[in-house]
């Protein structure tokens, strides 16, 4: 195995990380339920891609809306499983018995934040596509992607900084 010399330690996530995971999953399920409940109101052709201004520039059948929550659920499940095996992650420095617990916790928390921010984005886009497809709105908010990217990359930067410092 590639990282067979690393210590294998069970890392307990803090309560805030567990709550963040539950909130993101609940919101994704709520967006999925909203899509299911609004299914009859959706037009046959819905927006499936948006430009930087939030204007729809790609369209597809209403069945394509189902892919967002499915991808979100698969992502949530897959990344949750990866949170349980931090000894397999790539780290910037050597993992030793002395720093393994700190590095693994930092890696698990980074994975948790990336997972949950991404799933929240899928939930939001599912909600917005359902709203737009039902005639309730015309455009996606133009500030969503910049805010998401700032949150994603600043959190990654923070965890990388902590990884180097550890």
Query: Could you report the average pLDDT of every consecutive run of 10 residues in the chain (166 residues)?
Result: 75 95 96 94 87 81 92 96 93 88 94 96 90 77 84 94 86
Q: 12 to each of 1, 75, 81, how far by Cα in Å? A: 24, 21, 14
* pLDDT at residue 21, as a whole number: 96
- Domain boundaries along the sequence of the chain: 24-165
* pLDDT at residue 2, as a whole number: 62
Burial of 98 (0-12, 13-18, 19+ CB in 10 A): exposed
* pLDDT at residue 138, as a whole number: 65
Please choose, from the candidates 17, 4, 3, the residue with its C-alpha nearest in 3D space to the C-alpha of residue 155: 17
* pLDDT at residue 139, as a whole number: 66
Please say whether the beta carbons of 38 and 128 come within 8 A.
no
Cα 134 → chain centroid: 25
Dig out the tokens for 10 from the structure: 């069970």
* pLDDT at residue 6, as a whole number: 84
Q: Where are the alpha helices (DSSP H) in 3-143?
A: 15-37, 67-82, 100-133
Q: Helix crossing, 15-37 with 100-133: angle to 10°?
A: 20
- Computed from CA positions of residues 7, 9, 14, 18, in that sequence, does the dihedral angle turn out positive or negative? positive
- Return d(Cα 40, Cα 42) in angstroms, integer: 6
């Amino acid at each position: 195995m590639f990282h067979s010399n690393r210590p294998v330690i069970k890392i307990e996530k803090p309560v805030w990380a567990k709550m963040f995971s539950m909130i993101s999953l609940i919101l994704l399920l709520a967006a999925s339920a909203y899509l299911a409940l609004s299914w009859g109101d959706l037009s046959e052709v819905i927006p499936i891609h948006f430009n930087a201004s939030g204007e729809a520039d790609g369209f597809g059948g209403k069945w394509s809306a189902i892919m967002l929550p499915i991808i979100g659920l698969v992502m949530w499940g897959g990344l949750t499983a990866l949170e349980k095996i931090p000894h397999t992650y790539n780290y910037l420095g050597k993992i030793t018995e002395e720093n393994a617990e700190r590095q693994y916790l930092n890696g698990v928390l980074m994975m948790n934040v990336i997972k949950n921010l991404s799933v929240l984005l899928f939930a939001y886009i599912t909600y917005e596509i359902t709203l737009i497809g039902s005639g309730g709105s015309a455009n996606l908010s133009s500030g969503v992607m910049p805010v998401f990217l700032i949150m994603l990359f600043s959190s990654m930067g923070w965890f990388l900084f902590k990884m180097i410092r550890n």
